[in-house]
Amino acid sequence: MRVAIAQSAPVYLDKRASLRKVLNLIQQAAKSGARLVAFGETWLPGYPAWLDVCPGAGLWENPCTKDVFAKLRDNSITVPGEEVNALSEAARDLNIAIVIGANERVDAGPGIGTLYNSLLTISEDGRLGNHHRKLVPTYTERLVWGNGDGRGLEAVPTSAGRVGGLICWEHWMPLARMAMHNSGEHIHVAVWPTVHELHQLASRHYAFEGRCFVLAVGLMMPTGDLPHELRNDVTSRPGDSRWIEHGGGAIIGPDSQYVIEPVFDREELLVSDLDLTQIDRESMTFDVSGHYARPDLFRFEKKDTDAN
């Protein structure tokens, strides 16, 4: 089973140009023979790295931050919506499943005005198979995103196998992991801003615990993409990379060993063939949702609450 990671920078805070780029990358992945292609956290239209690297971005009533947030909100997508329709059409035309992170905007009904850090899974028939919202935004992220719900904590069938995903620090939430393990993942997409050492550890642990393949997907973001409204106080040190987000994409087997080792500081389509029978072999020693779950001793329950 051939899969791909599209380690590439979006056109920052420009959802229309980013959509054109993502459709081109999906075509490239399909031409490589991939049945699944994955993109990083909030790829549409980029991760708000300015929260952490621009001094004063989080100060109350900062007019520059308000301007940048307004641009982020205007360039966030709705689900369903024009961008999802375009991705679904590409998936159907190219016979490829897509997993992509996005900034999602609620435009009507309860929750109107809220942004979510979302992960969309579109199957090869063009169906939106899963719509997951990050359960708890991490630290400074809470300034821009709301809390998600439990509806997307599941794997969905695709021609590449059962595919699930979590967003960033959700990989340290034991019960979120258990919900995903119980859904029977063959391939797990772990999306991050950058897959640095700590994130690599979490991704490898997830593969070992879940006895599944993990596509650890990081974003690329050039320093020049930092919003000009907030960039004045950002200084570079000698030796600093031109990247704010460095990628680090990797593919990990169900034995926790790398199929593709992490790739940093360059945009690249990472492609690999996966032998899904390896899941069966590795399940001999540990099956987290099987007899190791001990349902006679423990009870697990997931509530599919609505974030709105």
Per annotation, catalytic residue among 21, 124, 134, 141:
134
Active site residue 54: no
Separation CA 155–CA 76 (nearest Å): 25
Buried b or exposed e, range 89-105, using 16+ CB within 10 angstroms:
ebbeebebbbbbbbbbb
In this structure, the strands spanning 258-264 and 97-105 are unpaired
Based on its alpha-carbon atoms, the radius of gyration of the chain, rounded to whole angstroms, reads 19
Active site residue 168: yes
Q: Are 25 and 6 in contact (CB under 8 A)?
A: yes
In the block, tokens 């950058």 appear at 194
Active site residue 61: no
Helix (H) or strand (E) holding 221: strand 220-222
Q: Are 42 and 9 in contact (CB under 8 A)?
A: no
Per annotation, catalytic residue among 15, 64, 154, 168:
168
Give catalytic residue positions.
Answer: 41, 134, 168
